[in-house]
Structure 1
Amino acid sequence: MTKIEKVLFTGKTHTTVNRDPNAQRGDHGVVDIRTSAPDCENREFIAAEPHPTAEQLFAGAWSACYITALGIAASLKKVTLPPDASVDIQVDVGQTGPGWFLGAQFTVRVPGVAQDVAEAIAHSAHQICPYSKAVHGNIEVALNVVTA
């Protein structure tokens, strides 16, 4: 796995499970994309640019899948995720020497959950999420878990 030396393009997402149709939406000039999962809960890819880049679309699809896996991992550990749990993913395309590579940075927010429990759930979600499994060992993935 190669670490990116120079980032050329970045796609960012913020994904939540939307249980409130009155939740704050993206700012003017951006698009909210609703995705779905087999459990039929809505996942929101909030505030995408009107013409998203491939990196942003990949980050959005990955984050919708990952937040579903996060819920599954939490339920397997008998933990209820807070309603404001969210996942931010940044996917970078960059170079190291002449080679082009992908990299990803995750920020998982689970306010009120003990740090060690939240980290265990976040790591377990990567073992469940098909996108995470597909890129495992192929790209560098950084994980930051925020519980405050």
Structure 2
Amino acid sequence: MAKIDKVFFTGTTHTTVNDDPSTQRGELGVVDIKLSAPGGGNYEFIAVESHPTAEQLFAGAWSACYVAALRITASLRKVTLPADASVDVQVDLGQTGPGWFLGATFSVRLPGLAQEVAEAIVHSAHQICSYSKAVSGNIEVAVTVITN
């Protein structure tokens, strides 16, 4: 697995579980996409540029799957996720030498949970998420867990 030396395109997302229909929507020139995952859940990909990059769409789909996996993992551990839990995913397309690669950075915010509990849930969710499993060993994935 190669590390990207030069990034050419980046797609970013901020995904939350949205149970509030009054949530502010995107402004003119952007689109809102509702994503779902097996087992239910209403995940919002809000205020996406009107012509998203493939990296941004991949980050959005991956984050929706990952948020669902977080819920499953937390449930299995009998932990309630905070209402304001969120996942930021950045997918980079870049080059190392003549080769082209993807890389990803996850920033998972689980305020109020103990750091070790949050980290266990976050890392276990990657074992459940089908996108995480599909890219495992193929792209570099960095993960940050924030509990405050």
TM-score range, shorter chain: over 0.9
Q: Which residue of 1 aligns with 2:126?
A: 126
Q: Which residue of 2 aligns with 1:117?
A: 117
How far has the Cα of 1:120 moved from its partner? 0.6
TM-score using structure 1 length: 0.96
Q: Distance in 2 between matches of 1:30 and 1:65?
A: 22
Please give the secondary structure, in 2, of the residue aligned with 1:75.
helix
Query: Residue type of the partner of 1:127?
Result: Q
Alignment length (residue pairs) = 148
Please give the secondary structure, in 1, of the residue aligned with 2:4.
coil
> Which runs of structure 2 are paired with 1:1-148 in the superposition (5 Å)?
1-148=1-148
Query: Residue type of the partner of 1:133?
Result: K
Q: Which runs of 5+ in 1 are unaligned?
A: none
Query: Residue type of the partner of 1:123?
Result: H
Q: What percent identity do the matched residue pairs reach?
A: 75
Q: Distance in 2 between matches of 1:146 and 1:31?
A: 28
RMSD: 1.0
How far has the Cα of 1:26 moved from its partner? 3.0
Deviation readout 1:27-75 (Å, 9 max, x if unpaired)? 4432211011233321111221111110001001000000000110111
Q: Which moved more, 1:111-120 or 1:36-45?
A: 36-45
Q: Which moved more, 1:127-136 or 1:43-52?
A: 43-52
Q: Distance in 2 between matches of 1:25 and 1:72?
A: 27
Q: 1:41 to 1:29 in 2, by over 3 A?
A: same
Please give the secondary structure, in 1, of the residue aligned with 2:64.
helix
Q: Which runs of 5+ in 2 are unaligned?
A: none
Please give the secondary structure, in 2, of the residue aligned with 1:100.
strand
Runs of 4+ in 1 over 6 A off after TM superposition: none
